[in-house]
Structure 1
Amino acid sequence: MSWAENAATFLKNDHVMLTPLSAPDREDIRAVAMDPDIWRYFTVTVGDDADFEKFFDSNLAEHRAGRRAVYVIRDRKTGKVAGSMSLLSFAEKDRRLEIGASWLGKDFRGQGVNHWAKYALLKHAFETLEAERVEFKTDVLNLQARKGLANIGATEEGVLRSFNYMPGGRRRDAVFYSILRAEWPQVEKLLLEGPKPKTASA
């Protein structure tokens, strides 16, 4: 099967469960998505119910069309929906894809949920889809996301200046990171050690 057909599947480990997005997830996602802090560095804004409906419907349409594999993240400790993460930018001929559109509700930040969700998706990308390269990108201003990517073993590659528009008209500089297939065994070892503890300055 192609990546578009095979990317979305049930994933889990001891900490998180990732399920492909479906229409019945709408209200569980809404319950954690209505927080403006989530969208500070996103190219979309979810500020009210109309914004959310547009956001959810767009995600569901992209998922159903096979252009993205949108996952709902559930915290296995509480059983609650924690947020979402996607596989996207499929370049199957070149064995390249991206993990992105990552966000968590406020109660699940700093709890290791992001770490273990990214581990699940990286394992799926390298071991099931047989990707050669997994990419990440974020706003150059998003220092928290950049630190998180460094902490999971991703290599910073550089900044693409004036990459895209942000809500409000700002032009975003996007910083790219990647993990390569040859690096995956060492990165997996790092990830299995668990999230790095926060420091006083974090």
Structure 2
Amino acid sequence: MDFSQDIILENNRALLRPLAATDFEALQAVAFDPELWQFTLTRADDKISLAGYIAAAVQGREAHFRYPFAIIDKETNRVAGSTSYYNIAAEDARLSIGYTWLGTDFQRTGLNRAVKYLLFRYAFEVLGCERVELETDAHNQKSKEAMRRMGAVEEGTLRSHRYTQNGRRRDTVIFSVIKPEWNVLRQGTFHEFDARESA
């Protein structure tokens, strides 16, 4: 993966572009809801923590650990949240999708599915991945259900996996999609985006 490249991914519903420090103002409008950050490793629900979140994401790209995107909702032309590729292991043809959050107004609107379609397609069809992983806090029922609905396979739980907010040890649930499954999912779960791009 070329971290110096400005990757732009787009379909009829979503636009993903590299997250930048200049997104701070736009993200304030959607980030300052404490509910969004209940199960995340860090918070970004005030100016100081949001600035730190963006700085860490940008530094992650510079360190070739994480490639963060800003999510643009094309129906409203608003910055709706952020997502990232991370744990990129080119030698094993796998990576993770995570650090994903959307403002409350954009949840359950189909935007997350449009975003995941773009990320999966690029990972499998451009980067040549054989496996894409997703993970979430075991307490985050909404996130687990969203992963199941998009067709990811729940593989198991890593107990006491990592520290999260306030020093709590969290159990992490791992989901994945592998390349043969992607060919089925793109024609099923993601058919509305796939059909439009094939036309």
Q: Same fold (TM over 0.5)?
A: yes
* Residue aligning to 1:31: 29
1:11-65 per-residue CA deviation (whole Å, 9 max, x = no partner) reads 0001101111122212112221111111111010224221121111111111233
1:158 to 156, 159, 182: 156
Are 1:121 and 2:128 counterparts? Answer: no
* Residue aligning to 1:199: none
* Residue aligning to 1:177: 175
Matches of residues 83-162 of structure 1 in structure 2 within 5 Å? 83-162=81-160
1:15 to 10, 13, 20: 13
Query: Is the CA contact 1:8–1:69 (under 8 Å) kept in the aligned structure 2?
Result: no
Query: Is the CA contact 2:20–2:54 (under 8 Å) kept in the aligned structure 1?
Result: no
Shift of 1:194: 5.2
Shift of 1:7: 7.2
Deviates more, 1:36-45 or 1:50-59: 50-59
Q: Which runs of 5+ in 1 are unaligned?
A: 196-202
Q: Which runs of 4+ in 1 moved over 6 A?
A: none
Q: Distance in 2 between matches of 1:138 and 1:7?
A: 28
Q: TM-score, normalised by structure 1?
A: 0.90
SS of equivalent residue, structure 1 residue 5: coil
- Aligned length, in residue pairs: 193
Q: Distance in 2 between matches of 1:125 and 1:155?
A: 17
1:112-147 per-residue CA deviation (whole Å, 9 max, x = no partner) reads 111110110000000000101000000111111111
Q: Distance in 1 between matches of 2:98 and 2:6?
A: 14
- Give the residue type in structure 1 aligned to 2:81: G
Q: Which runs of 5+ in 2 are unaligned?
A: 194-199
1:55-110 per-residue CA deviation (whole Å, 9 max, x = no partner) reads 11111111233321101011111100111110110111000100000000011011
- Give the residue type in structure 2 aligned to 1:26: F
How much identity, in percent, do the aligned residues show?
36
Q: Distance in 1 between matches of 2:158 and 2:146?
A: 19
Q: Distance in 2 between matches of 1:6 and 1:148?
A: 31
Query: Is the CA contact 2:27–2:81 (under 8 Å) kept in the aligned structure 1?
Result: yes
Q: Distance in 1 between matches of 2:113 and 2:41?
A: 22
* Residue aligning to 2:52: 54
Q: TM-score, normalised by structure 2?
A: 0.92
Q: Distance in 2 between matches of 1:61 and 1:7?
A: 15
Q: Distance in 2 between matches of 1:6 and 1:121?
A: 18
